[in-house]
Chains A and B, each alone.
Chain A
């Protein structure tokens, strides 16, 4: 079985600015990798490079054995799904129709959806608790509901690798927790999940591995206990932080000072 994700020397330049600089990245099957870092650190750019949305200025990457430079867009869509922040709001389709579009890579030519599609879509909507508003128009949903519907679409794509860009940003605390548990469960089922997060404590609880970025480079990488340290975080974020033991879980707890 090929590695889930491998990347070496990834660099992305726009004119004179270097957004991602010489990043090596690996992620294995069954692993939840969380990318954290301050605004402008290059987290989303790195995710876009790993997803094949952007072509690196230098370096190589492959997902499930597919080289991102050489793979066709259609082929790539069968190995990785992406929950991006850039989904437009003014989508005229219902939630169920949007989720069903996740089946596009699997039946590009057939007009009618199959039994399998209906089952996969149903399962994806149950998992994300979105079946209740399956008939509502996407554009009339709240930000959190839209995110969950988009996650259901990602699940319906049914790929071994999943990328998520700040999936919890628009969610309330309860749905943040739900979302993180779902993400962790996806990894536990054997998929490889890579997500960008701002919530350091969600990263602490759920990540198998954390990648801390700053100014386009990886400054620390490892288990939550390895990366989430008072000195490392205070320096990277330019703000005093205090890291203590989490009272409920076996992991660190980050407190901004």
Chain B
């Protein structure tokens, strides 16, 4: 009788075992700090008191009205939107890197972010925040289709697709400027909101709308984990194994466009998350996408929420765009990862 091969375990199992609890603990720590710290400092027992009362309990300290308004009305939706945006961008980054077989793929570098920002800025002139998010989703999908066309013409060379995306992104960013400067300044957020990203002024409504789009596309992307693994063998082998590669590309790019477009509509283009986080997650969780994608999403949520916290606290009381923090931290960190000796 033939001996079987153990396919359930792999060399990253040990790392994943500590990564899960570590990320969870870090997310909780960032959440606690984000709800407590800021221009108005809310003590921990007051924060817990607010949370308890929102869930119908009367535990912990009786919160002041101000604490109630700051923690639940302002900081909570902002924290959660940071989680959703980070998870979405990093998850999509992991998907695109697998799809293009290139670790340098990133939704914003490929032009999806700037493209979505055009639709989002137009949408915000028409319909406020829901308009911005819907516009971002539509334009994100359209840009993803444009990249799909580029990809089908130069299917052999993913590097060319990425370079094309960079050029496309630069041109589209300029168009965001045209839209913003032509629009009414009272209704459309300024250029730095769209191109640098900001979680300032996050609302429960923006959180709800964004989450619907991100969860819907996230289900499609997460369920494609095995497909993305097989694509790692190359397009030709994937076809031999019965994969409809063209259909897979279309579905994954459209879903990516939806997920990224919704985040851009809500908070603008937050740089580096989709590039850095999956790269790091791959070292921890391994290359198999059913581990890599959730690890990327968790890491992205942590990275964006922590960066947003820093953006509020670094030059208090001034808030700097969160994209500046992610780029300022992410850039050097990414260079360090790239130049480090290549191990596991």
Contact = CB atoms under 8 A, between A and B. Distances in A.
Contact of A101 (B5, B11, B233): B233
Interface in A125-141: 125-126, 131, 134-135
Given A86-B234, A87-B233, A111-B290, A121 B7 contact: yes
Interface string B181-217: 0000000000000000000000000000000000000
B244 A74 contact: yes
B4 A119 contact: yes
Given A111-B290, A118-B4, A118-B5, A91 B10 contact: no
Interface in A141-199: 153, 157
7 contacts: A88-B101, A91-B233, A93-B232, A96-B7, A98-B233, A104-B242, A108-B242
**Residue among B229, B237, B240 with the most chain A CB within 10 A?**
B240
Given A119-B2, A125-B5, 20 more contacts: A53-B239, A73-B242, A74-B242, A77-B240, A77-B241, A81-B240, A82-B237, A87-B234, A97-B10, A100-B7, A101-B230, A102-B241, A104-B241, A111-B225, A112-B8, A118-B4, A118-B7, A121-B4, A122-B2, A122-B3
A206 B218 CA distance: 51
A235 interface: no
Given A84-B240, A86-B236, A157-B241, A93 B287 contact: yes
Interface of A: 51, 53, 72-78, 81-82, 84, 86-88, 90-94, 96-102, 104-105, 108, 111-113, 115, 117-119, 121-123, 125-126, 131, 134-135, 153, 157
A76 B233 contact: no
B179 interface: no
Contacts of A76: 242
Nearest to A116: B4
Interface size class on chain B is 20 to 34
Given A101-B230, A135-B11, A96 B5 contact: yes
B226 interface: yes
Nearest to A74: B242
Given A53-B239, A92-B287, A122 B244 contact: no
Given A73-B242, A77-B242, A100-B7, A88 B2 contact: no
Contact of A87 (B4, B225, B236): B236
- What's the dominant secondary structure at chain B's contact region? loop
Contacts of B52: none
A96 B11 CA distance: 12
Interface in B116-172: none
A123 B2 CA distance: 6
Contacts of B33: none
The 5 closest A-B pairs by CB, nearest first: A77-B242, A118-B4, A92-B287, A74-B242, A105-B242
B243 interface: yes
Contacts of A119: 2, 4
A52 to B, nearest CB: 8
Contacts of B3: 122, 126
Interface in B1-20: 2-8, 10-11
B328 to A, nearest CB: 30
B288 interface: yes
Nearest to B244: A73
A73 B226 contact: no
Contact of A122 (B4, B225, B232, B237): B4
Interface string B252-287: 000000000000000000000000000000100001
Nearest to A163: B240
A130 to B, nearest CB: 10
A16 B9 CA distance: 52
A141 to B, nearest CB: 14
Contacts of A81: 240
Nearest to B242: A77
B5 A94 contact: no
A104 B243 contact: yes
A72 B246 CA distance: 13
Contacts of B237: 82, 84, 86-87, 153
B199 to A, nearest CB: 34
A121 B3 CA distance: 9
A17 to B, nearest CB: 19
A104 B233 CA distance: 12
